[in-house]
Structure 1
Amino acid sequence: MPTTHLLYLHGFRSSPQSAKSRMMAARVAAEHPSVTWWCPQLPPSPAAAAALIERGTADWPADRMAVVGSSLGGFYATWLAQRRGCRAVVLNPAVDPARDLTAHIGEQTAWHDPQARFFFRPEYIDELRALESGPLHHPERFLAVIAKGDELLDWREMCGRYTGATIRLLEGSDHALSDFDQHIDAVLDFLELAG
């Protein structure tokens, strides 16, 4: 079944203005105009982010939807794909954000708008733990693009989390996947988007 609905989830401190999400949006619009595209601005609260994602995709057909997530968005994408059984692409996905984001409790600035600030609250750590989804139910429905050059996340841990999935392991690159233009075709091929 071709994918007719595509969700993109950005990472921590990021936004729909990220280079990867803009590149994906442009390619989907140009080459797959019939596909429903949604890239929401996610709230800092993981529980609120999950609720937004669930509301926004509630009427999407599980067998014809897919999700792409970067970093923390990859964690959310995994949670959603585990719940809905849909296809997912994760880009340098956060494996244990409850552990890693403990160091970021407090005021944060938005990556694409340093004037925009938000507060990452201590209770958000428990909200992240509540979204942990365990071993992959259908690893064949996942593509993980993982950079050995990621300066924030351990590529070995990411590979271990996505055992059984299709893994595109990059020798270099970085956390932001600055060379995403070299990998977007593989992502789009995996998603099997409708025309």
Structure 2
Amino acid sequence: MILYLHGFRSSPQSFKARLMAEALAAQGLTGERDWQCPQLPVSPREALELSMTLARRQLETASSPRELTVIGSSLGGYYATWLAEQLGCKAVLLNPAVEAARDLATQVGSHRMYHSDAPMEFRPEYVDELRAAYVPAVTQPDRYFLIAATGDEVLDWREMRDRFARCRQRIIPGSDHGLSDFAQWLPEVLDFAQSAPN
């Protein structure tokens, strides 16, 4: 069972989310227990509340929290880390934001969403909400899988590598922040997500 969390200004229409949904549908995994990919609120606090509600709903019939894998891209990776620490589930982090409060403090103001061009407002208090969800170190590295691209033009892959140093890692030479070559890495992601819990 997978909960996918998109990044800043993104949506369930992102390339990686759609690719993953198609791969799971090909396995017959289309139910809400199998796959969730919500449109996250702009407020980090509200985004985490929604994600926690969905994750708990998916886990209602699970025998172990590790049956759930939260997959997060960019800011979604920051959220996924927090959720995995709260719930004891697994997490796959795709070019995750490591210092989200620091990085998004520069983004306070008006923006447009990537896939709809709808307006969005990133408020100053959202930076504090990000700071409140900061995870300085993960407690069980075996529950995490980091995919980081050295060609990420938005975030520093070395920060990702160092923050998740004891976790499984796939450092991709080149590529980009959006992981435009994600189809190549998707089987490895699904293998980690769908492996039997320890």
What TM-score does the superposition give when structure 1 sets the normalisation length? 0.93
User: 3-state DSSP class of the match of 1:178?
Assistant: coil
Instruction: Compute the displacement of 1:10 (Å).
Output: 0.1
On the 8 A contact 1:9/1:67 being kept in 2, the answer is yes
Cα distance in structure 2, aligned partners of 1:140 and 1:97: 23
- When residues 126 and 168 of structure 1 are mapped into structure 2, their CA distance, relative to the original with a 3 A threshold, is same
1:183 is matched by which residue type in structure 2?
W
Which runs of structure 2 are paired with 1:91-102 in the superposition (5 Å)? 91-102=94-105
Query: 1 CA distance for matches of 2:71 and 2:133?
Result: 17
Q: CA shift at 1:58, angstroms?
A: 2.0
* Counterpart check, 1:152 vs 2:154: yes
Partner Cα distance (2:165, 2:138) in 1? 8
User: Following the alignment from structure 1 to structure 2, what is the Cα–Cα distance between the partners of residues 155 and 63?
Assistant: 26
Select the structure with the greater relative contact order (CA < 8 A; seq sep ≥ 6). Answer: 1
More strand as a share of residues: 1
Residue 186 (1) aligns with residue 182 (2):
no
The offset of 1:193, in angstroms, is 5.7
Count of aligned residue pairs for this structure pair = 189
Q: Structure 1 142/32 Cα, relative in aligned 2: closer, same or farther at 3 Å?
A: farther
Deviations 1:121-162 (A, max 9, x none): 000000000101221111111110000000011111110111
Q: 2:81 aligns with which of 78, 82, 89?
A: 78
- TM superposition score normalised by structure 2: 0.92
2:13 to 17, 35, 47: 17
Q: Report how far residue 63 of structure 1 moved.
A: 3.1
1:94-132 superposed Cα distances (whole Å, 9 cap, x missing partner)? 000100001110011001112x01100000000000101
Q: For residue 88 of structure 1, what is the aligned residue in structure 2?
A: 91
CA deviation vs aligned residue, 1:68-93 (integer Å, no higher than 9, x gap):
00000000000000111111100000
2-side partners of 1:48 and 1:118: how far apart? 15
Q: Percent identity?
A: 50
- Unaligned runs of 5+ residues in structure 1 are none
